[in-house]
Structure 1
Amino acid sequence: MRSKSSTIRTHRAVTTLAALLAGALALSACSSGGSKSGTKEKSGGGQTPAGSTVTLPKLNGAHLEVAAVWTGAEQDNFKKVLAEFEKRTGASVTFVPAQDPIVNFLGSKIAGGQPPDVAMLPQPGAIKQAVRNKWAKPLGPQALKELRQNYSQGWQDIGKVDGKQYGVYYKAANKSLIWYNAKVFANAGAKEPKTWKDLLTAAQAVYDSGVTPFSVAGADGWPLTDWFENVYLSQAGPEKYDQLAQHKIKWTDPSVRQALTTLAQIWGRKDYLAGGQDGALQTEFPASVTQTFTGGDQPKAAMVYEGDFVQVNIAETKAKVGTDAKVFPFPAVGSTAPVVSGGDAAVILKDSQAAQALATFLASPDAATIQAKLGGYLSPNKNVPVSAYPNAVQQKIAKALIASGDDFRFDMSDQAPQAFGGTPGKGEWKDLQDFLKNPADVAGAQAKLEKDAAAAYGSGS
């Protein structure tokens, strides 16, 4: 279970960030100073661009492997960050494609005597498991210095285990956004909703105009957990959210029944889902996005729920963010709109000067600024210039994230043991896929969720 230090405990905190995000999507202009160009040599270090905040050692001849589950543009953009590390240090870095669940992938590599030097872990639960298995190595003094300079306490804490720092949260996500096809909304006369009731009204208007309202990535279990978490956080409140995240209340609790019943108002409408329930269960996340923004004003669906990283997939279509593809905060189901965050942390598995240097680089604004400029990425690093993000939508989301400080709730399934919250075909992912297939069986879904949660939390796996 996650420690209490990893999330902020006040209802006011969630309210504050929800208000910030709502304002963030108004697309007003914002600016911040950028970094300087050119390079200079610092004594005792490698190549350091002028204006850089971090000094790295010379690592000529060193070789590193970095494992992550990232694919497509996300992987390509991260490789550009690694290329900059190579340029500055003289080390060579190989990206190792990993599979979900990454802990199982790493276990196989370690058993074979070939662990990567650094792994990007998408769950706090995975960090805890890596520490418990004695795979993870603590961060050294230089990485800790960068982390403390550039991150709020909350983002530092979720990378800690038993008070010791193991993770650098290189990537963040705002998982409380719904993206929509602007032409479809305009043709339907639909307005951006602020409440769940408004969302249902907008969905009906879209449906009446001849377009299916929602694209749901049911083939991938994790987007379904994110749907649930937003509804649950807004409806049940942050205290209940924290209790369920730590399995201090059961999944058979009435608050879970209420959230699933609410979800069924959309998931239970076959004509509201692109391809119906069966089609949704065959739709992987990238396709859920692209089918919303291809086909002009007659796409397969008008709306798709997921985080700021949706922009990577929108970029694969001809749609432009801010004009063709617009976004609104996940509507309030209860009294307050939800704000759920996620992220990926760099964790050292083979302690060496080179691995520590890479962790230090990833904790610096330099690394995050490179990827921010490429789009489809959000950093919790508060010293990344907001102007580095390539469009007004992303700039405002980033500004709101940094302004929130510690006022966020971390993805619930990512806090859970990997066997429950992070394994394809098992646990919460599978149980919510089954619920999407049969949204009328709320009690059955609750029973399955509780059985799998009890087993995973009991074993800690």
Structure 2
Amino acid sequence: MTRRHTTTLLTCCTALVLGLGATACGGDSVGAGGGDQALSGQTITVAGVWSGSEQENFQKVLDAFSEKTGAKTQFVSTGDNVSTVVGSKIEGGNAPDVVMVPQVGVLQQFAKKGWLRPLSKTTEKSVTANYAPVWKKYGSVDGSLYGLYFKAAHKSTVWYSPDALSQAGVKPPKTYEEMLEAGHTVSDSGLAAFTVAGQDGWTLTDWFENIYLSQSGPDMYDSLATHRLKWTDASVVKALTTLGKLFKDKQLISGGQKEALNTDFPGSVEKVFGPEPTAGMVYEGDFVAGVAKDQFGRKIGEDANFFPFPAVDGGPAPVVSGGDAAVVLKDGKNAKAGMQFLEYLATPEAAEVWAKAGGFLSPNRKLDLAAYGDDVSRATAKSLVDAGDSVRFDMSDQAPAAFGGTKGVGEWKLLQDFLRDPSDPKDIAGKLESAAAKAYRG
């Protein structure tokens, strides 16, 4: 399950099952302005993890491209295991033209296998002009640009019930220590401060990454993400110690560590925004808003709001992101038209289509924030864009899947062990290093 930076996990199981392997061809067009219809009669196949409402909203982007160029489009939902599905389609001679890749590690894997075409000069020029350099870095392998980050996630947002904080008499904090202090005040008022989705190990990696980025800075974050820095480094132990202060404080976590380990991500959102709340705050990405709104009827900005993940130990407030990068496969039957589709995706015009539909953030600096449908979406998008080159991609998504992306092993499992018993950060750091060393050796 690779998830995490998209809202794939937020759609109901039925929608996901129905989406697997399903295709959706262009329907009613969404206005994208004029166009020369230069691709009339051609069909472009696009594969991605999306299903449910995400697939429906991306279809609006495809339809807008069709209206502009005359091309027909076909979307293929791969489910979460993009690498396996795309690999089998290439081997079977049925490769899609474009793939929306949800992880840096998978993009690098595809490039190193020789599956990808470098993006056109037109697309590269747009990326250089419209995106912070860090997004070009994450889309490049060995100096060539292969991936265009069209959809992003903001994973440095702490979501809260305004009523809960108001009743406790606290305001959104600016530092990590202030956040823990505010949590104790919320706890004293009758609700637990936080709910933690410890059943899903990926949420724990996100907690760690925000703390580490703020404490140690982008350069050390990059070194740890690529395993140039060992997990036994003192900076890792320090971040784990900081995280452990939260994990072992029974006043702060709803139901304590045992309940946290039995709470999945949707359940953690329910404990704050559901009909019987047990906590005032939940940390996760901007996609929390979708669960609070769609599953529990909360009005975003009124019944549910966020504050930025606060600065730790005097460092800058972190901005951790994720995203879906569009790539063009060499073996696609219409790769040339696929390349033109990426030229379109690089424009603010394409991003505006999904921004208006909701459930979307764009790293494209040229997209007018007015395109977003509500103030909270505008605030998260502005925070992401304003962070510029200091944005860092989800660390576990950059790691080999055996370490950073597999249930029951590696980082997910070890951080669950740490949540269960946070008394020895140095010991967990050593186990993380052993698992990382094995995974990075391949």
TM-score bracket, normalised by the shorter chain, equals 0.7 to 0.9
Aligned to 1:331: 310
CA contact (8 A) 2:45 2:76 kept: no
How far, CA to CA, are the matches of 1:314 and 1:366 in structure 2?
A: 29
How far, CA to CA, are the matches of 1:438 and 1:100 in structure 2?
A: 31
CA contact (8 A) 1:312 1:375 kept: no
Tell me, what secondary structure is at the counterpart of 1:213?
A: strand
How far, CA to CA, are the matches of 2:117 and 2:215 in structure 1?
A: 39
CA contact (8 A) 1:236 1:334 kept: no
Aligned to 1:294: 274
| Superposition deviation, residue 441 in structure 1 | 4.1
How far, CA to CA, are the matches of 1:250 and 1:323 in structure 2?
A: 43
Of residues 41, 63, 88, the one that matches 1:60 is: 41
CA contact (8 A) 2:237 2:426 kept: yes
State the AA in 2 paired with 1:437.
R
How far, CA to CA, are the matches of 1:330 and 1:361 in structure 2?
A: 33
Aligned to 1:16: none
| Superposition deviation, residue 448 in structure 1 | 2.3
CA separation of 1:85/1:415 partners in 2, compared to 1, >3 Å: closer, same or farther? same
| Superposition deviation, residue 390 in structure 1 | 1.4
CA separation of 1:94/1:419 partners in 2, compared to 1, >3 Å: closer, same or farther? farther
| Superposition deviation, residue 432 in structure 1 | 1.7
Of residues 119, 134, 137, the one that matches 2:114 is: 134
Tell me, what secondary structure is at the counterpart of 2:203?
A: helix
What are the ranges of 5 or more consecutive residues in structure 2 without an aligned counterpart?
A: 1-29
CA contact (8 A) 2:48 2:79 kept: no
Query: After alignment, is 427-436 or 87-96 more displaced?
Result: 87-96
CA separation of 1:39/1:92 partners in 2, compared to 1, >3 Å: closer, same or farther? closer
CA contact (8 A) 2:46 2:100 kept: no
Of residues 254, 274, 288, the one that matches 1:310 is: 288
| Superposition deviation, residue 191 in structure 1 | 2.3
How far, CA to CA, are the matches of 1:38 and 1:320 in structure 2?
A: 28
Q: Give the root-mean-square deviation of aligned CA atoms.
A: 2.4
State the AA in 2 paired with 1:231.
I
Tell me, what secondary structure is at the counterpart of 1:179?
A: strand
Query: After alignment, is 350-359 or 373-382 more displaced?
Result: 350-359
Identity %: 49
| Superposition deviation, residue 164 in structure 1 | 0.8
Aligned to 1:18: none
Aligned to 2:134: 154
| Superposition deviation, residue 166 in structure 1 | 0.3
Aligned to 2:213: 233
Tell me, what secondary structure is at the counterpart of 2:227?
A: coil
Query: After alignment, is 422-431 or 152-161 more displaced?
Result: 422-431
- 1:274-285 matches, within 5 Å, as 274-285=254-265
Aligned to 2:431: 448
Kindly indicate whether residue 204 of structure 2 is the aligned counterpart of residue 224 of structure 1: yes
CA contact (8 A) 2:32 2:64 kept: no
How far, CA to CA, are the matches of 2:413 and 2:51 in structure 1?
A: 22
- 1:9-408 matches, within 5 Å, as 41-42=34-35, 45-46=36-37, 57-68=38-49, 70-270=50-250, 272-295=252-275, 298-316=276-294, 317-336=296-315, 337-349=317-329, 350-351=331-332, 352-408=335-391
| Superposition deviation, residue 76 in structure 1 | 2.9
What are the ranges of 5 or more consecutive residues in structure 1 without an aligned counterpart?
A: 1-36, 47-56
TM-score (norm 2): 0.84
Aligned to 2:12: none
CA contact (8 A) 1:66 1:93 kept: no
Deviation readout 1:59-98 (Å, 9 max, x if unpaired) = 4241413222x34433332232223223334444333333
Asked which structure has the greater RCO (Cα within 8 Å, sep 6+), the reply is 1
How far, CA to CA, are the matches of 2:364 and 2:285 in structure 1?
A: 18
| Superposition deviation, residue 393 in structure 1 | 2.4
How far, CA to CA, are the matches of 1:171 and 1:111 in structure 2?
A: 28
| Superposition deviation, residue 100 in structure 1 | 3.6
